[in-house]
Structure 1
Amino acid sequence: MGTKITETLKGKLILGARIIQVGGVKKVFRQLFIVSEGERLLKVCQCYLSTTAGPIAGLLFISTEKVAFCSERSIKLNSSPEGKFVRVHYKVVIPLRKIKTTNESKNVKKPSEKYLEIVTVDDFDFWFMGFFNYQKAIKSLQEAITQARMNTHHSTLIF
């Protein structure tokens, strides 16, 4: 457990240094993801993304167009048949218009452990957990989805 805590703290320090170096979370968001004209960053949350390899720590960005996750540390991937490795950040981008539903749940044995599931229109599901402020994250996400749906309905009206 000691090395896991050390690794987690090291990752958070590296992430914090990067945010300061780049000039804030908005600039980090623009550097990591394609941002459309007029898109605004609404909320940034530290959390974990559940993967088959285990949870990955990172930042969840909620904007007026998408939900985007980027790991705080890069992961090593085999990039060629020769066995060469590259280091990349683990990223997930979900356009708000592609979100079918969001579900909140918690660990029955540990109710303080709360989870957020995002299900896309093509039935992929993404699980996020370990939020510093779970309620603010949920509220920001619901507001972004509601606003995106309202904008979609308004833009499809024909007069």
Structure 2
Amino acid sequence: MDTTLLHSLSIATYNQLHKSILNKFLPDPANERQLSTTTSKQSRIYSIINKLGRKADNFSQEVREHVRLGPTITETVMGKLRLGARILQVGGVKRVFNQFFTVRQGEKLLKSSQCYLSTTSGPLAGLLFISTDKVTFCSERSMKVFSSKGEMCRIRYKVSIPLKRIKYVNQSRNVEKPTQKYIEIVTEDNFEFWFMGFLKYQKTFNYLELAISQA
């Protein structure tokens, strides 16, 4: 056989083997891109899972703190059931707000949150409402009081603070128990209101700041 032909065959065989080896041991550029895309997607998924995990941990801490502030777990759960039944009965949180408080024309409810109001008798469970006009609080349960005539009646403990009368708001926490977070509202006449045990603490505070800034 002609040496030139042999040489050509040898080169062709070498090139074929080289290509085969490269294809076998090195990733195809298209596969590389696919692998890179898959890895990127996995990284994003892991990042989302970690973020959701942190949020779940924070929420579980807030739930534990919320329950801990109640007199007993049983009483706290019963209070939530009664509140939930009340909300369903009237047709939603917005209607609860409209039912318990005077709502001016054009006023909009921005945020509602379960929490506790600090009182001289201890933490009082209820709903905090933030609207475009005011910050209000209504207790979960009605309370026994006596009228001027000496008759006993049941009323809900309510607080209503116009946004324009709020001097400032503060975030704080118990130094010894960092999970205990508070929102302090101080009015122009220096009345202080302390709220705690929020199920969504930071989100509630953000809405509060937004409402005050736009009042």
**What's the TM-score, normalizing by structure 2?**
0.66
Q: Which amino acid is the alignment partner of residue 202 of structure 2? A: Q
Q: In structure 1, what is the Cα distance between the partners aligned to 2:94 and 2:199? A: 19
SS at match of 2:97: helix
Higher Rg:
2
Q: 1:16 aligns with which of 60, 84, 87?
A: 84
Q: Which amino acid is the alignment partner of residue 60 of structure 1? A: L
**1:17–1:125: structure 2 CA closer, same or farther, 3 Å change rule?**
same
Structural mapping, 1:103-118, within 5 Å: 103-118=170-185
Percent identity between the aligned chains? 64
Runs of 4+ in 1 over 3 A off after TM superposition: none
Greater helix percent: which structure?
2
Q: In structure 1, what is the Cα distance between the partners aligned to 2:177 and 2:71? A: 24
Equivalent in the alignment of 1:86: 153
Quote how far apart the aligned CAs of 1:39 are: 0.2
Q: 1:54 aligns with which of 122, 142, 167?
A: 122
- Tell which deviates more after alignment, 29-38 or 73-82: 73-82
Greater strand percent: which structure?
1
Equivalent in the alignment of 2:163: 96
Which consecutive residues of structure 2, in runs of 5 or more, have no partner in the other structure?
Answer: 1-67
Structural mapping, 1:3-152, within 5 Å: 4-80=72-148, 82=150, 84-148=151-215
Which consecutive residues of structure 1, in runs of 5 or more, have no partner in the other structure?
Answer: 149-159
Kindly tell me the number of residue pairs found equivalent between the two proteins. Answer: 147
Q: In structure 1, what is the Cα distance between the partners aligned to 2:186 and 2:71? A: 34
Deviations 1:57-78 (A, max 9, x none): 0000000000000000011112
What is the RMSD of the two structures over their aligned residues, measured on CA atoms?
Answer: 1.5
**1:29–1:3: structure 2 CA closer, same or farther, 3 Å change rule?**
closer
Q: In structure 2, what is the Cα distance between the partners aligned to 1:81 and 1:91? A: 22
